[in-house]
Amino acid sequence: MLEKIIGSKTKISLLRFLSKHRDWQFNLASIAGSIGTDKGALSRIIKELEKLKILEVKRNGKLLLFKLNEKNKFCSLIETLFEKEAKLK
């Protein structure tokens, strides 16, 4: 399961960004700009993580907003990993 969740540099950047800002929701363009990646590639990754229920998606009008799914037990593991990573730096 972890290889599906954390499999690419872009996925790791996305998960790190969302875990850092866990109380916020972001649209695709703002995430892409913040982590410096292509919106198309990011969209595919978001769809994968949404299927795994790692990301929570909410619609606000025409806008889709994304955040980590706090109900998924893997999200707390992911957040712990990034917290430990930050302490190592």
CATH number of 2-88: 1.10.10.10
Across-strand partners of 64?
A: 59
pLDDT score of 7:
76
- Structure tokens of 76? 């707390």
Alpha carbon distance 68, 7 (integer Å): 17
* Cβ neighbours, 10 Å, residue 17: 17
pLDDT at 78: 86
Average per-residue pLDDT for the chain:
90
Q: For residue range 37-64, list pLDDT tens digits in order.
A: 999 999 999 999 999 999 999 999 999 9
Q: What is the pLDDT of residue 1?
A: 55
Q: What gap in Å lies between CA 84 and CA 1, rounded to an integer?
A: 21
Domain map (residue ranges) of the chain: 2-88
